[in-house]
Structure 1
Amino acid sequence: MVTRSTKEQIVLAAERLFALHGIEGVSMRQIRVAAGNGNNSVVQYHFGSKDQLAQAIFEYRLPRLHERRTLLVAELRPKDLRSWVECQLRTVLEQSEQPGSHYLNFVAMLWQCGRRDVFESMPEEFRSSVTAFDQQLKALLPHIAEPLRTHRITHAMTSIVHAGADRERARSGGQAVLPFAVEVMSLLDGMVGFLEAPVSEAALATLDGTDPAGVAWRTFL
């Protein structure tokens, strides 16, 4: 039996509840109860606020995710868009296989609730890693004009997270899921096709008078 510290129990309870209800939809008391702790002030003592607790979830999950992506890059030695996207896709979907994980649904819920500010306050080391990976993808898509290129990459990365969240949710509920290899290859085909698709004249025309900042969002994970 795994013995978890009080802080880890709180982080995992918060991850599960935030994934279901969003940060605003959960109280500190509910997190404490879900963590099985009888101390009324234990969550505030360790984390101060729900936003700080959300950051603690990132700090708990991101080291393994970023380490895994780094190992995949070293293993696959990606040279083209498909192999770079595969490194990200495998990393995310492997998280959905982790017992007791609600992390991908937590991230998806943050996005759904418009809490992109939480991503912006990630620890710098992880934001730098995301930025470096983002720049690598951009370099492989020179035919896509900005800000459409950043917008397209963001949506591809978001779609990967949501696919992983669906798989994570199905597994936690005991539902059937596609074999892992089938899911990876099918999604990989779709994401690469989406990213590489040529930009139409109609799409380019929509950029006239558009604020680029409203089109190009930051990626995450």
Structure 2
Amino acid sequence: MRADHNKQVRSSETRELLLLTAERLFAEHGVEAVSNRQVSEAAGQLNNSAVGYHFGSKEDLVVAMLRRHAEPIEQRRTEMLAEIAGSTELRDWVACLVRPPIEHLASLGVPSWYARCIAQVTTHPSFRKLLFDETFTSRSMQQGHRGMFRLVPRLPERVRQERNDMGRLMVVHICAERERALHEGTAPRRSTWESTASALVDALVGLWLAPVTPRRAKPAHAARPKPPPKRAKRST
């Protein structure tokens, strides 16, 4: 029994090491550029197929990495939603969408790679849908969006979708930039994850309340001038 327990502990530690290594490599080089074999080697595994053994495909590895962070974020957002139930303040609902992942990033310390890794996955042609399905469709996210949209002025569907995309990309890439600056030691001294969260909430509230430029009707095409009549040829 003890041998089995020790084996399980070693397996769990190896999985954690592989996930951390993959996160770092994906953040530094992009998802496409890093193979499962490279992750195994960088994690110091003698078996170059360690990722395949513990996770399966690269897609399985990415899913495991996302789920590793999703639980604490989901828990914190659920707590915040319970605290603001019934609120009529748009900022409260936007904060529930923004602050939980940023608080999680702050808890990771320096250096961390998760925000930059997410930014890389976001730009990957196939993994971006996987990221959306795993992260942006959770129960708490859906609840937060429902509460927010009750307080947002009625928008055309195309505008609503555009602003949703803008907001998501804003959060992802601003967090990635701060994480990079912290890693490189170039972050402003007075800047904190808390101030970053507040700035994003301010910006997103403004984004959702911004007026919509009305579409102009396309001008009717002016009738093309008729070509001048052809002159009759003179007979010689």
TM-score under structure 1 length normalisation: 0.80
Kindly report structure 1 stretches of 4+ aligned residues shifted beyond 6 Å. Answer: none
Q: Which has the larger radius of gyration?
A: 2
Instruction: Work out whether 1:22 is the aligned partner of 2:9.
Output: no
Q: In structure 1, which of residues 82, 85, 89 is the aligned counterpart of residue 98 of structure 2?
A: 89
Query: Could you tell me how far 1:111 is from its partner in structure 2?
Result: 1.6
Aligned-residue sequence identity (percent) comes to 35
Give the aligned partner of residue 165 of structure 1: 176
Instruction: Work out whether 1:41 is the aligned partner of 2:54.
Output: no
Q: Structure 2: where are the runs of 5+ without partners? A: 1-9, 219-236
Higher deviation after alignment, 159-168 or 172-181: 172-181
Aligned equivalents of 2:139, 2:195: Cα separation in 1: 31
Query: Could you tell me how far 1:62 is from its partner in structure 2?
Result: 0.3
Aligned equivalents of 2:93, 2:161: Cα separation in 1: 16
Give the aligned partner of residue 186 of structure 1: 199
Q: Structure 1: where are the runs of 5+ without partners? A: 207-221
Aligned equivalents of 1:57, 1:179: Cα separation in 2: 25
Aligned equivalents of 2:200, 2:177: Cα separation in 1: 13
Aligned equivalents of 2:166, 2:155: Cα separation in 1: 14
SS of the residue corresponding to residue 61 of structure 1 reads helix
Aligned equivalents of 2:160, 2:204: Cα separation in 1: 14
Query: Could you tell me how far 1:123 is from its partner in structure 2?
Result: 8.2
SS of the residue corresponding to residue 201 of structure 1 reads coil
Instruction: Kindly provide the amino acid, as one letter, of the partner of residue 142 in structure 2.
Output: T
Check whether the contact 1:73–1:87 (CA below 8 A) recurs between aligned residues.
Answer: yes
The 3 A distance-change label for structure 1 pair 170 and 205 is: farther
Structure possessing the higher relative contact order (Cα contacts under 8 Å, 6 or more residues apart): 1
Check whether the contact 1:141–1:149 (CA below 8 A) recurs between aligned residues.
Answer: no
TM-score under structure 2 length normalisation: 0.75
Q: Summarize the alignment of residues 105-144 of structure 1 with structure 2, pairs less than 5 Å apart.
A: 105-114=116-125, 115-122=127-134, 127-144=138-155
Aligned equivalents of 2:13, 2:183: Cα separation in 1: 23
Give the aligned partner of residue 233 of structure 2: none
